[in-house]
Copies of this chain bind each other. A is one copy, B any other.
Amino acid sequence: MTARLRQDAIVRSLRRNGTSTVADLAGEVGASRRTVLRDIKALRDEGFVIHSEPGRGGGLQLDPQSVQTTARLSVAEVFALLISVASMRAAASLPFSGLADAGLAKIERALPSDKLRDLRRFLDCLYVGQLSPQVDISDMGAMDPALLPAFETAFLQRRHLRIQYRDAKEAVTNRNVEPQAMLILPPLWYLVAWDPARKGFRHFRMDRISRPEIDEDATFQRRHVPFENHVRPIRDLSR
């Protein structure tokens, strides 16, 4: 029995029995009283809240609110969770958004610092809003997640992006644009980009974009994107 397994057993026992004494736990997990006390200290160091009462009738009690879980997530999964929860908050205020945000903030903090920096920089480009109820979205396509890496690279390295765009009239054009922001109006995503040829901002619906290519040579400066009041940066939501 390794230390880790024994500590898990102690947590399970406390959870099951409510209150236990050190001696009981020692008998249960087959270790000495001293070792159980060391384990209790280790668990407290890890963040478990364990109340204790000395004296006759005393004992140990695991704070039920502190029951915890650890999971190992990839950066892509964290990203997906962030977007989902932030979009949800924008679309409909749920009673749990505070808790979900707190959970996400913990996950985010645990990211390795270099990935965290990239993720934050990309999240800074993301804005969420709400589609006006009049729009019929039943026939709209979903964006292809396979497109995302190209966009992420273009944003982070501030490279020009070549895309093929099919507009509302089905006319197909080729563009070379500066990606400035991504706007999420669930379920639609828009690329907000400065079009140098037209000297103006354009919104491109992501499900109408195909064949994105990074222009390796040209870089650009960030511009201030004029968003309306009901569009909010996603970063505010995940803090």
Interface residues of A (CB under 8 A from B): 11-12, 15-16, 46-47, 65-81, 83-85, 87-89, 91-100, 102-104, 106-107, 109-112, 114-115, 133, 137, 142-145, 148, 186-187, 189
Contacts and interface: CB of A to CB of B under 8 A. Distances in A.
A83 B62 CA distance: 26
Question: Would you call the interface of chain A mostly helix, strand, loop, or mixed?
Answer: helix
18 contacts: A15-B114, A66-B74, A67-B112, A68-B72, A69-B73, A70-B71, A74-B103, A81-B85, A81-B103, A81-B104, A83-B94, A84-B84, A84-B88, A92-B187, A94-B142, A95-B143, A96-B145, A99-B145
Given A78-B103, A85-B85, A94-B142, 17 more contacts: A12-B112, A67-B115, A69-B73, A69-B111, A71-B106, A71-B110, A73-B103, A73-B106, A76-B99, A77-B103, A79-B96, A80-B99, A83-B94, A84-B100, A85-B88, A95-B142, A95-B143
